[in-house]
Structure 1
Amino acid sequence: MVNMLEYKQQWRGGLLIKVNPRYTSQTCFECKHIAKENRQTQSKFECVKCGYKANADINAARNILSAGHAV
């Protein structure tokens, strides 16, 4: 799949940035606190430090997007 995305991005003049997904589902997007307890269920994320609540997949996606933009 990554090869396909790279090919498509090159074809369209885009850029694919690979981001390590490690801890993105346990990291709070708001305060960046990392804890296993932040991800309470498959879909529920609640930061034990700041109280930020979100869908766990949305929170992880925001962390991945932020990491990609930081590159």
Structure 2
Amino acid sequence: MDIRTIQAFLLAAEHENFRVVAEKLYVTQPAISTKIKLLEKELGDKLFIKEGRNVVLTEFGRFFYEEAKSILT
């Protein structure tokens, strides 16, 4: 887990859309999806549930969101 992955996760949680995050970070949407999948694998749990074109945090995702914010501060 690195700072860029945590930043991507936080932005995804706030915007609920990987495409928007990709635009803000100047990367492709598949790159964001891959980062999130690798983070989920590393943490051993799902962070998001896909709802149409958007994503919403799981219960574990909400917990990790608070932890990730404190990591960056």
Length-normalised TM-score, structure 1: 0.30
Name the structure, 1 or 2, with higher relative contact order (CA <8 Å, separation 6+): 2
Q: State the TM-score, normalized to the length of structure 2.
A: 0.30
Q: Which has the larger radius of gyration?
A: 1
> Which one has the bigger helix percentage?
2
